[in-house]
Amino acid sequence: MKYYIIAGEASGDLHGSNLMKSLYKEDANAEIRFWGGDLMKSVGGTLVSHYKERAFMGFLEVLLNLRKVMVFIKFCKKDIEVFNPDVIIFIDNSGFNLRIAKWAKENNFRTNYYISPQVWASRASRVKAIKRDIDKMFVILPFEKAFYKKFDYDVVFVGHPLIDGIADRKQTDIHQFKKEYQLTDKPIIALLPGSRKQEITKMLLVMLSLIEDFADYQFVIAGAPSQDFSFYKNIIGHRKVSFINNKTYDLLSVSYAALVASGTATLETALFKVPQVVCYKGGNVSYQIAKRIITLKYISLVNLITDKEVVKELIQHDFNSRNLKKELTKILDETHRQKLFLDYFELEKKLGGKGASQKVAKQVVAQLK
């Protein structure tokens, strides 16, 4: 059977690659064409467009690049028509995917969605379009099923795919890791400033401002696969900080604490049981718009899933050197850390068991058969 998968960003590429592996297991004759990244490409199939080409962050950035976005949408529709898949599988990336989904449904393509748009965070009115355009929705957060039920839309909770990715990975040898990347024996504070240029630029400088205040620790930047080192180097300057590209899981597995940009990385950090401070700073116009339409108490998945403040969130103007220093000091305190670890274990229980990608692949293939 023929599968067309559309994913955006590094996290979509990761989940898409695991889904593709499961699809190939369920359907030995699977033909897959996709929008994604290097991880999906390594599994097989045909890469149509890399997510790096579409990495626009925030409302203003999307508006400024609207012409490019429309060109991508037009090209995508044409490519789907030519390939004529048995099913289109959308992964997150709602701004782009919901536009394609509307067109796809109108043209009688079967539509599945894996990893729901965050309609529970803002613009819940989009559920009406999702019900109309998506044949089957697979969700990964425990509260999403109840949310959609309020709109009389039955979705399938499959558990979170990060559980698999972390549980199945090879254990990192901390001594070998430090030797390979020329790290010292000091405890590691990981810096995860995001994957897009806009967010890295806004957040990394503030994170780096703490280096001199925490001389007993070593700071290590987790480089995003979507960015070259030369970009980071311009921000780092002469500061004493290490840089490790595309090895975030290895880094988190040996870290003592972390400063993390809001997003999937906050959940990954929690699953590695690393105390963290969640950071967010966007463009002022985008932030002002978001503040008016987002209805949530929290921005981090850790706090949203547990429905309480497990990790501290420093947002926009609150994200500054003074506040960051204060919160980092807290998570280095042993008493604070012990409470945090208990909350992390509670979080993991709520996320469900292993096998999210496999569950989705089985149901997708079963529909077609």
Written in H, E and C, the secondary structure of 156-221 is EECCCHHHHHHHCCCCCCHHHHHHHCCCCCCCEEEEECCCCHHHHHHHHHHHHCCHHHHCCCEEEE
On whether the CB atoms of residues 321 and 206 are closer than 8 A, the answer is yes
On whether the CB atoms of residues 86 and 44 are closer than 8 A, the answer is no
On whether the CB atoms of residues 143 and 334 are closer than 8 A, the answer is no
Q: Any residues with CB less than 8 A from the CB of 143 and at least 6 apart, and which?
A: 120, 304, 305, 307
Give the pLDDT score at 64: 58
Give the pLDDT score at 369: 87
pLDDT exceeds 70 at position 56: no
Question: To which H or E segment does residue 259 belong?
Answer: strand 257-261
Give the pLDDT score at 150: 94
Same domain? For 151 and 220 the reply is no
Lowest mean pLDDT segment, chosen from 94-108, 199-213, 290-304, 321-335: 290-304
- Angle among Cα 261, 262, 263 to the nearest 5 degrees reads 115
Same domain? For 294 and 364 the reply is no
Mean pLDDT for 293-318 is 87
Lowest mean pLDDT segment, chosen from 115-119, 199-203, 290-294, 338-342: 290-294
d(CA 108, CA 88): 11
Antiparallel, parallel or unpaired: β 156-157 and 257-261: unpaired
pTM: 0.79
The confidence band for 360, taking pLDDT boundaries of 50, 70 and 90, is: very high
d(CA 88, CA 196): 26
Question: To which H or E segment does residue 61 belong?
Answer: helix 58-64
For the sheet with 188-192, list strands across it.
242-245, 218-223, 188-192, 257-261, 276-280, 312-315
Q: Which amino acid is at 225?
A: P
Q: What are phi and psi of 355, to 5 degrees?
A: 95, 25
Same domain? For 40 and 173 the reply is no
pLDDT exceeds 80 at position 267: yes
Give the pLDDT score at 278: 97
CATH code, domain carrying 125? 3.40.50.2000
Q: Which two tokens stand for residue 213?
A: 């205040």
Mean pLDDT for 95-121 is 94
Same domain? For 216 and 338 the reply is yes
Same domain? For 78 and 217 the reply is no
State the first-to-last Cα distance of the chain, in angstroms, to the nearest integer.
9
d(CA 220, CA 208): 10
Give the pLDDT score at 316: 84
Percent of the chain clearing pLDDT 70 (strictly above): 93
Same domain? For 187 and 125 the reply is no
* Coil/strand/helix, residue 349: helix
On whether the CB atoms of residues 235 and 205 are closer than 8 A, the answer is yes
Lowest mean pLDDT segment, chosen from 127-131, 222-226, 337-341: 222-226
Give the pLDDT score at 69: 79
Same domain? For 273 and 317 the reply is yes
Region of residue 251 (left: phi > 0; alpha: psi -120 to 50; beta: else): alpha
The confidence band for 123, taking pLDDT boundaries of 50, 70 and 90, is: confident
The confidence band for 89, taking pLDDT boundaries of 50, 70 and 90, is: very high
Same domain? For 56 and 197 the reply is no
Same domain? For 279 and 357 the reply is no
Number of separate domains in the chain: 2
Same domain? For 93 and 180 the reply is no
Give the pLDDT score at 53: 78
Which tens digits make up the pLDDT trace of 24-39?
999 999 999 999 999 9
Same domain? For 82 and 51 the reply is yes
d(CA 33, CA 297): 38
Domain hosting residue 254, numbered range: 167-350
Same domain? For 55 and 67 the reply is yes
The confidence band for 225, taking pLDDT boundaries of 50, 70 and 90, is: confident
Q: Any residues with CB less than 8 A from the CB of 163 and at least 6 apart, and which?
A: 271, 348, 351, 352, 353, 354, 356
The confidence band for 293, taking pLDDT boundaries of 50, 70 and 90, is: very low
